[in-house]
Structure 1
Amino acid sequence: MKTSLKEWILAAEFAAIIAVLSQFTIPLGLIPLTGQTLAVGLTATLLGKRTGTYAILIYLLLGLIGLPVFAGMSSGLGVLFGATGGYLIGFIFNGLITGAILEWKSFNYAWAIIANIVGAMVTLVFGTVWLKFSADMSWQTAFSSGFVLFILPGILKAVAAGYLGIFIRNRIPSLVLQK
């Protein structure tokens, strides 16, 4: 299946939206709340599996080539392959799984929230496994510092992304790609 110009334009626009929302951080002690994961879930909810994943890939490529699009205006190989790079890689699978669940089931509020929670947990799993090996941590330390601390913020952002995604999708039909 060919990718339409509209899909590429939407993917590029949403890569920019992810980049902008990634710069919003609410410091809460050890657990900073960033707009990055919210933006990834919102992108997958609005654009679906394929175009949403393209947007996430474009976002990661922008950061990889040195544009300061990651949280905290960071970028480069060091960030992507550093201790927290697993979360960034996990975004790809978050987009794939969140979009796939919605396309398989239904683009409604309940499924969007469920899909986003599953996607958020996938991101946390990738980040935790990566953290364990890149920082040479024990599984228990990686799990407690890379997963447990982020469960509640992840669920809150997943619920927000699911709700906002369907809310926007219902009001801006031009975002919905015809298959």
Structure 2
Amino acid sequence: MNKKSERLRILLKCSIFAAITAILAQIEIPLPLIPISGQTLAVGIAATILGSRHGALAMVCYAAIGAVGLPVFAGFSGGPQVLVGPSGGYIFGFIAAAYVTGLILEKTKFTIRMAFLANIVGMIVTLLFGTVQLKIVLDLGWNAAIVAGVYPFIVVGLIKAYLASWIGITVRQRLIQAKLITAPKKEIA
């Protein structure tokens, strides 16, 4: 396969996961400041299937599509005002979380157990980015930012981390079997 067609395949995979993230973003439970949405589930699935670089690239595509105004963020919102608003830190955190989650899996084994651990670390990264921006934008103290930006997401985040692990590993193994993606030499399918 030549470089041009390989780049096109990567771009298509990343675009598909950006679209999946946009769809899951619309599944939400409203909360006073930041809603619980399906976005982080999509981030974990993308990182588990695509790995660090391509998972992060998928989230960059997602953030860029939303930044230009397409309503892909939670609640069918979009535009740069979302990225600089109270929930913007979480969106930036998706990029870092996808990279970190994928990197942990690339350095270990692609098992559900390791994927769950990697997705928990990714969840922590997302919450860290989100809480910092929430604190800055709303001029909250650290305690108030943590209460609003972390606590409501812990239980649901653990459930989504497990689901992302299970779905991601299952789909990844099937894609490898169908020869749609290649497994690293060290990976046990």
The TM-score bracket by the shorter chain reads over 0.9
Which AA in structure 2 matches 1:176?
Answer: I
User: TM-score by structure 1 length?
Assistant: 0.92
Which AA in structure 1 matches 2:11?
Answer: W
Q: Which residue of 80, 89, 92 corresponds with 1:89?
A: 92
- For the Cα contact (< 8 Å) 2:33–2:148, is it kept in 1? no
User: TM-score by structure 2 length?
Assistant: 0.88
Q: Which residue of 40, 45, 59 corresponds with 1:42?
A: 45
Matched-pair identity in %:
48
Which AA in structure 1 matches 2:129?
Answer: F
- For the Cα contact (< 8 Å) 2:55–2:98, is it kept in 1? yes
Q: Which residue of 152, 167, 170 corresponds with 1:164?
A: 167
Q: Which residue of the partner structure matches residue 128 of structure 1?
A: 131
Alpha-carbon distance in structure 2 between the residues aligned to 1:90 and 1:82? 14
- For the Cα contact (< 8 Å) 2:97–2:123, is it kept in 1? yes
Q: Which residue of the partner structure matches residue 142 of structure 1?
A: 145
**Structure 1 pair 151–34 and aligned structure 2 pair: CA distance change class (3 A):** same
Unaligned segments of structure 1, at least 5 residues: none
* RMSD, aligned CA: 1.8
- For the Cα contact (< 8 Å) 1:22–1:34, is it kept in 2? yes
State how many pairs are aligned. 178
Cα displacement (A) at 1:29: 8.2
- For the Cα contact (< 8 Å) 1:90–1:127, is it kept in 2? yes
Q: Which residue of the partner structure matches residue 187 of structure 2?
A: none
- For the Cα contact (< 8 Å) 1:169–1:175, is it kept in 2? no
- For the Cα contact (< 8 Å) 1:83–1:134, is it kept in 2? yes
